[in-house]
Amino acid sequence: MKKKTLSLAIALSLSVGAVALAQDNKEAASKPTSTSANKAWAYSELKAPEVPAVKQKAWVKNPIDAFILAKLENAKIKPSKETDRGTYIRRATLDAWGLLPTAEEVKAFENDKSPDAYEKLVDRLLSSPHFGERQARRWLDLARYADSAGFQNDNTRPNNYRYRDYVINAFNQDKPFNQFVREQIAGDELYPNSQEAKIATGFLAGYPDNSNSRDLVQRKYQIATDMTDLVGETFLASTIGCARCHNHKADKVSQKEYFQLQAFFSNTQFDERARLEKGTETEADKEFAKTQAAYNELTKDIRAKQRAILDTVRAEGRKYHNERYLTDSRDSIFKPEKDWTPLDRWVNFRKDAVATEQDIVAYLRISAEDKGTVEFKEENIAKYKEYQKLTAELRKFDKYRPTKGGSNFLTTAVEIGSDPIPTQVRFGGIHERPLESVQPAIPALWAGDYKLEITPTKNGIGRRAALANWLVSEKNPLTARVYVNRVWAQLFDKGIVGTPQDFGRAGTKPTHPELIDYLATNFVKNGWSVKKLQRDILLSNVYRQSSSERLDVVKADPENKLLAVYPRKRLDAEEIRDSLLYASGKLEDKIGGPAVFPPVPSSLNAGNQWEVSKDEADHNRRSIYVFVRRSIPYPLTQAFDPANPSNPHHKREVTTTPLQALALFNSDIVSNWSQALAGRIINAAGKDENAQLDQLYITLFSRKPSKEERDVLKSFLDNQEKVIQERVWTGKFEVAVPTGLKQGTRINPVRAAALVDLVHTVSNSNDFAYRF
């Protein structure tokens, strides 16, 4: 009786809640948001502010400095002195490239006495392909980029690297950011003849996905939810996802408005087997196709026999597989095509997209082994045994198969049908509880007086195209503000708005609202040029400041919000690995292409989910090219707080744990890099030990060691030499000597082994792991 009463109470509560929610949405729709939030700084019209007048005019190299200095002068704090050139080039190179400068580059910059030395340095950094690689890594954090789908199977997405390469190329080409946005949201609709724009829609396609889901209607809702939240967080710095379940309590976005935004994606699906245009294949594509063709020729007879076996059960196998979907999915799957609704089209497209030959193989196995079930058929026992025998034969040719990651296809967004799938408000965000239908609209908090126009395109119903156009319109002040804040956070550790994912009432207030508006208006004025934006910041005096601690600043501005001191920052996970590779001379400079699999510890037990790349050169590619498998993060960088690819990642966390030191100290890979770096140091500095120590410090820290540091380093070498010598005598130690030495170089192997240990130790120091 209690259970019945409780169930009745819940039902009554839900019913009352539904009525209340409907009324709430009705009121929200009839009265556009006109609270003070609509006039809040973040949502106000974007206008160029007046550059403030300051007393220390000589300190101002460009208007950015004036906005910073004005606040400092008001607080009676002096800016810090300019940092030394070695620190500046290291800082700027890490920020622009994600790599260390070479010792030669440091020396050249320190010796450049020309008045435009800084400008030449920054222009060189911005013109390098490494710039695109570093900026792309930041963007891929937001795009929740991965090379696999996640969930229990974590299937490989062999085409995803094309989107990664698109992002790298976009930053290197300085593609206008407004076009960059349009292409990623609606490239297939706005630029139907551009393969590059179609690849760009991989931004939307990066969601974690469960191809085994038995509820295709729910998957549609979950995918649309992911895309809606992604756009809200990435371009608009909004926690709009809160409004999926209830009216947003902080930012005055109603649940109805959330689903109106979701309606822009109502017909969106993804084709992961769209054909590459002829003539656009890369060398990797051609090599993959060549290897695939050779493999197919070698195995055609075996595969033909397998296919013939599966053809005898294909109809039953496909029917069995389709019947395993839930009721509402089956309603669409088994409905005659002539009677399909727009939702039915979406469901069947999705069903076909996730169907594989392995579904039929699974049915053959079940029908041959599961005795006593409806599926069991005795005649299939012999078929399955023969199929297994052929599979064993086929495996003998595995070494001739193309490597993982290659593909003959691309992934692109597509619109399913010309009539839109209805979008409904969902009670409590639960997809099984649909309420009223809604049409696409921009939440009133953002829209202002913008007139939304949706015009069908050649490739779709035009909804995403309309959304993309609004995102970069002059009526939307958020996109430019949000992005320049992200760039500022990249260069100064914290954004002008400290919560880059939330410009709303629950986020932090901007420390310099006029500065962010100056940056945003200038960004738009300069054609949405990312390189011009970064150039202005990199050449400002605020960026050139020393990071040395000042007690007066700690007392007056303990969080350094006014930026009287340049903020120190721990290197990102990829920067640590890539800089060690670069310093050791092992980094492969190849740009783009399929993801690679460097060696991982055997204890990872990754099996065929991590098949190490056969080409050893691939082991030394930049981290941005390392395969991102959601279920198996790359161990070497995992300890240093990389992005979680399951959600948009707005800011890298910085933790300090023993595992980080252990990851570097105990890694055979890092030890090998230390040997290579020690060899480079000896090649560059010769036998002079003081010169070797100078070369080591310039390579890793862009400066020479102080007298005190030099004494400690020499003491370490002396002590370590004794330890190594003692272990060599007892036969308990294998000497790790420098590698890559010039031919004819003569060394004391024990002292040289001590140098390797010193290099390994110094590269594990805070001075290496931090950007000053």
Q: What is the DSSP string of 559-577?
A: T-TT-SSPPPEEPPHHHHH
Q: Spell out the SS3 assignment of 403-471.
A: CCCCCCEEEEEEECCCCCCCEEEEHHHCCCCEEEEECCCCCHHHHCCCCCCCCCECCECCHHHHHHHHH
With 70 as the cut, is the pLDDT of residue 319 above it? yes
With 70 as the cut, is the pLDDT of residue 498 above it? yes
Which residue's structure tokens are 């010769």? 686
Angle of the 283-311 helix axis to the 314-323 helix axis, nearest 10: 100
Distance of alpha carbon 565 from alpha carbon 516, whole angstroms: 19
| Whether the Cβ atoms of residue 447 and residue 254 lie closer than 8 Å to each other | no
Which residue's structure tokens are 């974590």? 154
Query: Running DSSP on this structure, what letter comes out for residue 545?
Result: B
Query: Running DSSP on this structure, what letter comes out for residue 639?
Result: T
Residues 41-67: tens digit of each pLDDT? 899 999 999 999 999 999 999 999 999
| Whether the Cβ atoms of residue 463 and residue 471 lie closer than 8 Å to each other | no
Nearest 5°: phi and psi at 569?
-155, 135
* DSSP secondary structure letters along 453-496: ----BTTB-SHHHHHHHHHTSTT--HHHHHHHHHHHHHHHSS-S
pLDDT value of position 29: 38
Across 588-617, average pLDDT = 92
% of the chain surpassing 70 pLDDT: 94
Single out the residue of 82, 79, 87 nearest to residue 56, CA to CA: 79
* Residue 9 burial (10 A CB sphere; 0-12, 13-18, 19+): exposed
Q: Please give the mean pLDDT across all residues of the chain.
A: 92
pLDDT value of position 404: 61
| Whether the Cβ atoms of residue 673 and residue 586 lie closer than 8 Å to each other | yes
% of the chain surpassing 90 pLDDT: 85
Distance of alpha carbon 737 from alpha carbon 751, whole angstroms: 9
pLDDT value of position 733: 66
List Cβ neighbours of 698 (8 Å cut-off, separation of 6 or more): 86, 103, 106, 107, 704
Which residue's structure tokens are 């959600």? 647
Q: Which amino acid appears at position 145 of this protein?
A: Y
Distance of alpha carbon 538 from alpha carbon 88, whole angstroms: 10
With 90 as the cut, is the pLDDT of residue 18 above it? no
Residues 220-257: tens digit of each pLDDT? 999 999 999 999 999 999 999 999 999 998 999 999 99
Residues 97-123: tens digit of each pLDDT? 999 999 999 999 999 999 999 999 999
pTM: 0.93
3-class state of residue 523 by DSSP: helix
